[in-house]
Structure 1
Amino acid sequence: MRALLWVVGVVAGVLILLGLLLEAVRWLVIIGVIALAAVIIFAIVKGRQVVHQHSTRRR
């Protein structure tokens, strides 16, 4: 009976930790997508600035 309680306790602990880990992974994916979008937007803005500066020099 005591061994069964230990097994149930360990399985419950593993399931709780797995749930927390999956929740953390989900948030990391969301943060990563936001960071990727920010980098893409920053690159587009900087690229437009470079093109604009290059075109004003030629005039």
Structure 2
Amino acid sequence: MKYILYIVAVVMIIIWAIGFFIYSIGAIIHLLLVSALVCFLIKIFSGKKNK
């Protein structure tokens, strides 16, 4: 009986973690898009100028 409570607790923590990361994935996608845009702009402005 003691192990069943531990198993239920672990399963609940795993389900909570999955739900937390799925809910916050929208923010992660926005952060990735912004960082890609910043890297792109840095590459454009710091690159060699073609004449």
| TM-score for the superposition, normalised by structure 2 | 0.51
2:3 matched residue in structure 1 = 3
Q: Distance in 2 between matches of 1:19 and 1:39?
A: 30
Query: Radius of gyration: which is bigger?
Result: 1
Q: Distance in 1 between matches of 2:32 and 2:11?
A: 31
Structure 2, unmatched stretches of 5+, are: none
Q: Distance in 2 between matches of 1:20 and 1:8?
A: 18
1:41 matched residue in structure 2 = 41
AA matched with 1:16: W
Give the fraction of aligned pairs with identical amino acids, expressed as a percent.
Answer: 15
Secondary structure at 2:29 match in 1: helix
Q: How does 1:1-59 map to 2 (within 5 A)?
A: 1-23=1-23, 26=25, 27-44=27-44, 46=45, 50-51=49-50, 54=51
Structure 1, unmatched stretches of 5+, are: 55-59
Secondary structure at 1:7 match in 2: helix
| TM-score for the superposition, normalised by structure 1 | 0.46
Bigger share in helix: 1
Q: Which runs of 4+ in 1 moved over 4 A?
A: none
Alignment RMSD (CA, Å) = 3.0
